[in-house]
Amino acid sequence: MSQEDIESMMKEKRTFDPPKEHSDKAYITSMEQYEEIYKRSMEDPDGFWAERSEELIHWFKKWDSVSDYDLHKPEVKWYVGGKTNIAYNCLDRHLENGRRNKAAIIWQGEPEEDVRVYTYQMLHTEVCRFANVLKSMGVKRGDRVSIYLPMVPELAVAMLACTRIGAVHSIVFAGFSAVSLQNRIQDCEAKVLVTADAVLRAGRTIPLKPNADEAMGKCPSVEKCVVVKRAGNEISMQDGRDVWWHEIMEDESISDECPYEEMDAEDTAFILYTSGSTGKPKGVVHTTGGYLTYVAHTTQWVFDVHDDDVYWCTADVGWITGHSYIVYGPLALGATSLMFEGVPSYPSPARFWKVVEKFKVNIFYTAPTVVRALMREGVEWTRKHDLSSLRILGSVGEPINPEAWMWYFKYIGNEKLPICDTWWQTETGGILISALPYATPLKPGSATKPMPGVDAAVVRADGTNANPNEGGHLVIKKPWPGILRGVYGDPERYKSTYFERFPGMYESGDGARVDDEGYFWIMGRLDDVINVSGHRMGTAEIESALVSHESVAEAAVVGMPHQVKGETIYAYVTLKSGVEETDDLRKELRAWVRNEIGAIATPEVLQFADGLPKTRSGKIMRRVLRKIAASKYDDFGDTSTLADPGVISDLIEGKKSLL
């Protein structure tokens, strides 16, 4: 085995068959059917993608060719010459097809009593009005609009208003600082900023407008700022620049009708920055026809959404998951999408389940970080509410450790519901690897198989295919319609990050292995791979072993430089509520990993930590942990996307007291 090979030691052997209940009306109901569709999609990709788009999307003008690409350049185009509009597909056509009075968005605010429901008709009117507002501010096709809003319905309205008139939105998560906002506005030179007075979070009011003011002070491109009144806190409004959303939307000159632009399939729809887990965030560019087709395709097959379902994705719209699976995917299908402003832990760890019960949610899509946090609080919270409406569970954002998977399966899914562990990235636009809920037998911790149309593979450093169970680089060998079309303003970074190392393929940057049955197991970022005495190991498996111990809530492992072995393993461990941090437990956990995986994976150092450094989107930032393990406390790189920078000093303290 070469130095480059990545070892794999996962011992997970459990499998669970897909449920029979509800499968009669499912889109894809067996592995045979999946395999047949998959085979077809690989043999005739253009035929497959033409069919899917015709089925799911309304085109004003049909494309001249389905795809045109050269990944060496790189250059990718889908549905070349076709004309469509995202907002038309998400709204207008549903006014004609019987869904006019159906709930498009059910909004549950942070305070329990704040609920708003938008039918497709109502949402259409709001979107047209706001599109007219933008036009009145001089926003034209191709202009950029930055959106810095909490999880309020105006966020979806603003996005759809942009796509209606062909403006490019760039959403910045409302948890980001003034400087992060400023950088993102400057990068895309936005003409208008949409923001709010404050964010309501866990019972507190966190002012937002002051951040916007600070950022706009350094962003001369911004001519107008629209402010949503969420909390009613005192803010300053700059004359001539700032207007209230509710005032301008009620202005008599603003019409309920706004014609949609006929957009070219390859016109830019939006720019969105990645989470910054591995370095400086990238401004990912997505276009119109391919992105829309891809999110509709995956929402339909992964979540098996039907007309009477209530579908809930708990992500923030500030992340790609919210773009694709709260707004564009569900609305393109004419589904009912629940949008939630609150957090899982407030006012109690039962909040999510209360929402599920209240709206009889059928499809529930969340992140492993949430599952682990709720697991830490204990199962009693899950028992306070009736979860029997649930039909499908989803996970995204990080590898879901088998232990967390089992908890989700047992206590939320009542050992009956399929869990779709969806692997994808900001860059991919939509889900690339996932179970299909009524077809795929599940293995806890595996994202299972590629979506039809996705040519996923694991390759060695030299680009040749890895053997079954051999860890390597997760790549995609053919473009799919939702693939990014660029890194905004930086063609060189676009090429070097994704297309240079393996010519003719898309490089994800993640490590994975494929087992004997063709199941994909994501092993974590390749940047985070640990090399102990020439054995290269992914972080996911060692962390999963730690999390499978009854005392452990969460774990992150990194490599620590070692003179002889090259690297040794350094583990950060967060214990469950009420468990005491003792030396005995530390010994026990090291022995546990040795026993679960093998001596090679035993952590050399194990540090207990109350919290781990996470990005605002909930991912563990291992590069920071690597620095701390190496006692390099001076330069942590770009930590602007970190949720709680205070965690770093706590970890440094903890590290020092270990020695």
Contacting residues toward ligand ATP, per CB under 6 A: 274-279, 281-282, 396-399, 421-426, 447, 508-510, 522, 525, 617, 619
Q: Which does 29 bind (CB under 5 to 8 A by kind): Mg ion, ligand ATP, none?
A: none
Centre a 10 Å sphere on the Cβ of residue 428 and count the other Cβ atoms it contains. 24
**Shortest CB 303 distance to ligand ATP, Å:** 14
Cβ-based nearer residue to ligand ATP, 41 or 425: 425
Would the annotation count 399 as a binding residue? yes
Q: Which does 396 bind (CB under 5 to 8 A by kind): ligand ATP, Mg ion, none?
A: ligand ATP
Residue 444 per-residue DSSP state? T
Residue 269 per-residue DSSP state? E
Q: Which does 445 bind (CB under 5 to 8 A by kind): Mg ion, ligand ATP, none?
A: none
Q: Which does 197 bind (CB under 5 to 8 A by kind): ligand ATP, Mg ion, none?
A: none
Contact 498, 75 (CB under 8 A): no
Tell me the chain's radius of gyration from C-alpha atoms.
24
CA distance 412 to 579: 24
Contact 521, 539 (CB under 8 A): no
Would the annotation count 366 as a binding residue? no
Would the annotation count 421 as a binding residue? yes
End-to-end Cα spacing for the chain = 36
**Shortest CB 525 distance to ligand ATP, Å:** 5
Cβ-based nearer residue to ligand ATP, 8 or 84: 8
CA distances from 142 to 261, 286, 371 (A): 11, 13, 40
115-125: b (≥16 Cβ within 10 Å) or e: eeebbbbbbbb
Would the annotation count 397 as a binding residue? yes
Cβ-based nearer residue to ligand ATP, 152 or 400: 400
**Shortest CB 357 distance to ligand ATP, Å:** 27
Cβ-based nearer residue to Mg ion, 452 or 524: 524
**Shortest CB 551 distance to ligand ATP, Å:** 24
- Which residue stretch of 151-159, 206-214, 228-236, 266-274 sits at the interface with Mg ion (rule: CB under 5 A)? 266-274
Three-state DSSP state, 552: strand
Among 405, 413, 423, residue whose Cα is nearest residue 363: 413
Task: Specify which residues 243 forms β-bridges with.
Answer: 226
Q: Which does 473 bind (CB under 5 to 8 A by kind): ligand ATP, Mg ion, none?
A: none
Residue whose CB is nearest to Mg ion in the complex, by number: 274
Residue 423 per-residue DSSP state? B
List the structure tokens of 505.
Answer: 């393929």
Would the annotation count 533 as a binding residue? yes
Q: What is the DSSP string of 114-172?
A: -EEEEEHHHHHHHHHHHHHHHHHTT--TT-EEEEE--S-HHHHHHHHHHHHHTPEEEE-
Would the annotation count 201 as a binding residue? yes
Cβ-based nearer residue to ligand ATP, 35 or 527: 527
Residue with token string 């207990």: 608
**Shortest CB 465 distance to ligand ATP, Å:** 21
- Which residue stretch of 4-12, 89-97, 227-235, 267-275 sits at the interface with Mg ion (rule: CB under 5 A)? 267-275
**Shortest CB 274 distance to Mg ion, Å:** 5
CA distance 297 to 289: 12
Would the annotation count 561 as a binding residue? no
Site string for Mg ion, 18-57 (x = CB under 5 A): ----------------------------------------
Q: Which does 180 bind (CB under 5 to 8 A by kind): ligand ATP, Mg ion, none?
A: none
Would the annotation count 549 as a binding residue? yes
Q: Which does 655 bind (CB under 5 to 8 A by kind): ligand ATP, Mg ion, none?
A: none
Would the annotation count 49 as a binding residue? no
357-385: b (≥16 Cβ within 10 Å) or e: bebebbbbbbbbbbbbbbbbbeeebbeeb
Would the annotation count 426 as a binding residue? yes
Q: What is the DSSP string of 82-93?
A: -EE-HHIIIIIH
Would the annotation count 46 as a binding residue? no
List the structure tokens of 334.
Answer: 């004419």
Q: Which does 421 bind (CB under 5 to 8 A by kind): ligand ATP, Mg ion, none?
A: ligand ATP
Would the annotation count 445 as a binding residue? no
314 CB contacts (<8 Å, ≥6 apart)?
340, 344, 352, 364, 365, 366, 367, 370
Which residues, numbered 216-255, are part of the site for Mg ion (CB under 5 A)? Answer: none
Residue with token string 């390749």: 526
Cβ-based nearer residue to ligand ATP, 213 or 541: 541
Residues 118, 122, 124, 130: what is their CA dihedral angle, to the nearest 10 degrees?
-90
Contact 371, 399 (CB under 8 A): no
Q: What is the DSSP string of 214-261?
A: HHHTT-TT--EEEEE-SS-------TTTEEEHHHHHT-TT--S--PPP
**Shortest CB 644 distance to ligand ATP, Å:** 16
Q: What is the DSSP string of 307-355?
A: TT-EEEE-S-TTSHHHIIIIIIHHHHTT-EEEEE-S-TTSS-TTHHHHH
Q: Which does 267 bind (CB under 5 to 8 A by kind): Mg ion, ligand ATP, none?
A: none
**Shortest CB 421 distance to ligand ATP, Å:** 5
Would the annotation count 552 as a binding residue? yes
**Shortest CB 353 distance to ligand ATP, Å:** 22
- Which residue stretch of 168-176, 248-256, 271-279, 510-518 sits at the interface with Mg ion (rule: CB under 5 A)? 271-279
Would the annotation count 424 as a binding residue? yes
Cβ-based nearer residue to Mg ion, 274 or 440: 274
Would the annotation count 563 as a binding residue? no
- Which residue stretch of 195-203, 270-278, 360-368, 580-588 sits at the interface with Mg ion (rule: CB under 5 A)? 270-278
CA distance 110 to 202: 8
Which residues form the interface with Mg ion (CB under 5 A)?
274
**What residues are designated binding site?**
201-204, 321, 397-399, 421-426, 510, 525, 533, 536, 547, 549, 552, 594
**What residues are designated binding site for CoA?**
201-204, 321, 533, 594
**What residues are designated binding site for ATP?**
397-399, 421-426, 510, 525, 536
**What residues are designated binding site for Mg(2+)?**
547, 549, 552
